Amino acid sequence: MKWQIHRLQVRPAFTGYRLDQYLAGAEIDISRTMAKKIIDLGGVHLNGRRVRSCSTVIHDADSVEVYLDRLPLEPYRIEQREILFQDKFLIVLNKPALVETQPTHARYKGTLYEALQWHLKDDFRPHQKAEIGMIQRLDRGTSGLIVFSTHQRAHREMTRIFVEHQVEKRYLALVHNAPEHHQGEIRSLLARTRKENRVKSVVKGGKEAITRYKILERLGEFSLVDLELLTGRSHQIRAHMAEQGCPLVGDVRYGGQVNVAGLRLQRPMLHAVKLAFSHPVLEHKLEFTAPVPADMKKVETQLRGSEI
């Protein structure tokens, strides 16, 4: 899912215009209503800085950048059913797919981080924002379990738990083909390539990444795989499975197909299904599971049906 980026320079005739007026009259084919929503989300940057006020006045030669991520313009808000656990120290959520975990150039409002600030706002005094520790991240397309610390007494210990790998993180993935062995462990050094904006295994210079896998079910030319992350590198599962000749279904960046079993997929079929760790303050064991989301179930059902 590629972004659209419009880079504009204000001409003298538009000096004194409100930002939303300018965008509606600029050569990017959006209405003023849509311009207001994009500005409110945080997708408009003026002279290199994000601007979220529609009434901002622009001037000759100002640079304006508009980032469109093709996601809904209505900001995401956390629903009660998505909260699996919450106390004064932590919150564990079942993240929907196609929600950004943290702010991007295209949006601040409606990311999981901002939605969590909104959810916690009643716990704090006016004009005081929640203190949120982002210990882990899930890609936009990945659904499932994610934990945030929400109190300063929990931040450091939660970071230690994840850094020292004292957490169990399991994922379900639908992949093309099947790994050579029924189960195994993949170890490599992962590094990002700037040219392709992908992560891949390298001989040196990368960060250690360890993924354990087990084939749960073969579905013709596809497989349902259980994965355990012993490290938490960016795109780790996506890169490791692609390098096994088993890219995630729907993961175009790493070689997966988006048209599968008569369905056109909107994301890689990856779901964070289990999370287990000790409470950072109270020290008791916490363990959570998240049900497989409807879109992933639908693909599985279609693949099973095509085998008959």
Clarify whether 20 is annotated catalytic: no
Multiple choice CATH, 4-68, 3.30.750.24, 3.10.290.10, 2.40.110.10, 3.40.50.300? 3.10.290.10
Mean pLDDT of 99-111: 95
268 confidence band (pLDDT: 50, 70, 90): very high
Mean pLDDT of 166-192: 96
Question: In this predicted structure, what is the pLDDT of residue 122?
Answer: 75
Q: 143: closest CA among 297, 266, 293, 294? A: 293
Q: Position of tokens 């997966």?
A: 256
Give the C-alpha separation, 209 to 211, whole Å: 7
How does the average pLDDT of the chain come out, rounded?
93
Kindly tell me if the per-residue pLDDT of 78 is higher than 80. yes
Mean pLDDT of 212-238: 95
**DSSP assignment of the chain, as one string?**
---EEEEEE--GGGTT-BHHHHHHHSTT---HHHHHHHHHHT-EEETTEE---TT-B--TT-EEEEEE-SS-SSPP---GGGEEEE-SSEEEEEEPTT--SS--SS-STTSHHHHHHHHHGGGS-TT-----EE-----TT-EEEEEEE-SHHHHHHHHHHHHTT-SEEEEEEEEES--SSSEEEEEEEEEEETTTTEEEEESSSSEEEEEEEEEEEEETTEEEEEEEESS--TTHHHHHHHHTT-PBTT-GGGT--SEETTEE-SS--EEEEEEEEE-TTT--EEEEE-PPPHHHHHHHHHHHHHH-
Give the C-alpha separation, 250 to 256, whole Å: 5
Mean pLDDT of 251-261: 95
Quick: pLDDT tens for 110-164. Answer: 999 999 999 998 766 555 667 899 999 999 999 999 999 999 999 999 999 999 9
Could you tell me which residue, 197 or 217, shows the higher pLDDT? 217
Give the C-alpha separation, 251 to 270, whole Å: 9
68 strand-pairing partners: 4
Question: In this predicted structure, what is the pLDDT of residue 9?
Answer: 95
Kindly tell me if the per-residue pLDDT of 2 is higher than 90. no
Quick: pLDDT tens for 88-100. Answer: 999 999 999 999 9
Mean pLDDT of 60-81: 95
Question: In this predicted structure, what is the pLDDT of residue 27?
Answer: 74
Mean pLDDT of 11-16: 93
Q: 215: closest CA among 168, 170, 179, 254? A: 179
Sign of the alpha-carbon torsion through 267, 268, 274, 277 = negative
The single residue of 60, 62, 69, 139 carrying the catalytic annotation is 139
pTM score, whole prediction:
0.91
Question: In this predicted structure, what is the pLDDT of residue 301?
Answer: 92
CATH classification code of 80-307: 3.30.2350.10
Give the Cβ contact number of residue 82 at 10 Å.
17
Question: In this predicted structure, what is the pLDDT of residue 121?
Answer: 84
End-to-end Cα separation, the chain, in angstroms: 32
Kindly tell me if the per-residue pLDDT of 258 is higher than 60. yes
Which residues belong to CATH 3.30.2350.10 in the chain?
80-307
Quick: pLDDT tens for 17-59. Answer: 999 999 998 778 889 999 999 999 999 999 999 999 999 999 9
Question: In this predicted structure, what is the pLDDT of residue 130?
Answer: 73
The greatest distance separating any two alpha carbons of the chain, rounded to the nearest whole angstrom, comes to 67
SS (H, E, C) 58-111: CCCCCEEEEEECCCCCCCCCCCHHHEEEECCCEEEEEECCCCCCCCCCCCCCCC
Instruction: Locate 6 and state its tokens.
Output: 């419009």
Kindly tell me if the per-residue pLDDT of 235 is higher than 90. yes
Question: Cβ neighbours of residue 268 under 8 Å, at least 6 residues apart?
Answer: 139, 141, 142, 173, 238, 248, 249, 250, 251, 254, 256
Which residues belong to CATH 3.10.290.10 in the chain?
4-68
Mean pLDDT of 224-243: 95
Mean pLDDT of 4-26: 93
